[in-house]
Amino acid sequence: MRKIYRELQFLFDDLSCHISKMEGFTKEELDNYHSQLFQNKISFTSKFASLEIMHHYTLDKCKVLPKTLENEKQKRIVLTETTLNINEVEAFFEAYLNAFYSLLQILAKFTPFFYKKDFPNIQMCNENFGSQIEFFRIKKDFPDEKFSTYMKNELYSWYKTLKEYRHAITHRSAIFVGFEQDDSIVFLKPPEGDETNYWFKKNKPSVRMVNYVNDSFQNLFKFLEFYVNHFRPKIEMSNRTKLIKKALDSQASKQS
């Protein structure tokens, strides 16, 4: 996973070099593009770190919580520590969803730049990842069919779920955390939209938190791996990137 992240960083750096060589744009336009790419890379780096940290903390607290509950139940005391752990799980999980969602919004800002040289007239949203998916779902004649097909077929379902959970938990609802009979941590699946009396209904669906966090994290890296492999051949590798990759490969060889 760290390798994919590193390759993304190289790709973003080389994209900036690629943009500087484009013809048909004014110096002011190119300077503006460089500024945007610089800002996007800083934001992506920060948000990626947040996502990794919250992924780790959420899973770690999910391991601790059942043990804390069992310990306090055996002692027959008020579940003070258990309640604190539940609050921490809820806080870390919400932060995980927000970091995940924000990371994709930042990635959406990079994507149009890969097409500026060859297809400068394409009007693609660069502010919202969901709007980009809709762009590819609706547009029938996009020149990059492979990327368009991937966005439509591979991303729509799990991004829709992420967006629903994130928006509901952040704006409309709370994370109701509980336990399965095998002590697995679950959260109630939030309602879609403003469903009336949802929380008073019986047998509301629940989601195993560890499974969702791990599966969503894997889905992200599958997408990022595709993203790098798809756009890397379109962007010439700079001498700086070549030197750094050579040094890293040499270092890895010595360590092994």
Q: Helix 209-231 vs helix 80-110: angle between axes, to the nearest 10 degrees? A: 20
Query: Considering only 18-27, 166-175, 210-219, which range has the smallest mean pLDDT?
Result: 166-175
Q: Which amino acid is at 205?
A: P
Q: What is the pLDDT of residue 188?
A: 85
Q: In the block, which residue shows the tokens 């790709």?
A: 11
What's the token pair of residue 220?
A: 């992200």
Whether the pLDDT of residue 256 is over 80: the answer is: no
Single out the residue of 54, 153, 142 nearest to residue 102, CA to CA: 54
Q: In the block, which residue shows the tokens 């990626």?
A: 48
Q: Are 6 and 223 in contact (CB under 8 A)?
A: no
Q: What is the pLDDT of residue 81?
A: 87
Bigger pLDDT: 127 vs 20: 20
Q: In the block, which residue shows the tokens 């969803």?
A: 97
Work out the average pLDDT over 55-70.
92
Q: What are phi and psi of 95, to 5 degrees?
A: -65, -35
pLDDT band at 193, cuts 50/70/90? low
Tally Cβ neighbours within 10 Å of residue 186.
18
The chain-wide mean pLDDT, for the chain, equals: 89
Tally Cβ neighbours within 10 Å of residue 127.
9
Whether the pLDDT of residue 204 is over 90: the answer is: no
Whether the pLDDT of residue 221 is over 90: the answer is: yes
Q: In what order do the strands lie in the sheet with 206-208?
A: 177-179, 185-188, 206-208
Whether the pLDDT of residue 11 is over 90: the answer is: yes
Q: What is the pLDDT of residue 194?
A: 67
Summarize pLDDT for 88-125 with one digit per residue, the tens. 999 999 999 999 999 999 999 999 999 988 887 888 87
Taking CB atoms within 8 Å and a gap of at least 24, the contacts of 130-138 are 130/159, 130/163, 132/108, 133/159
Summarize pLDDT for 117-165 with one digit per residue, the tens. 888 788 887 778 999 988 888 887 888 899 999 998 888 889 999 999 9
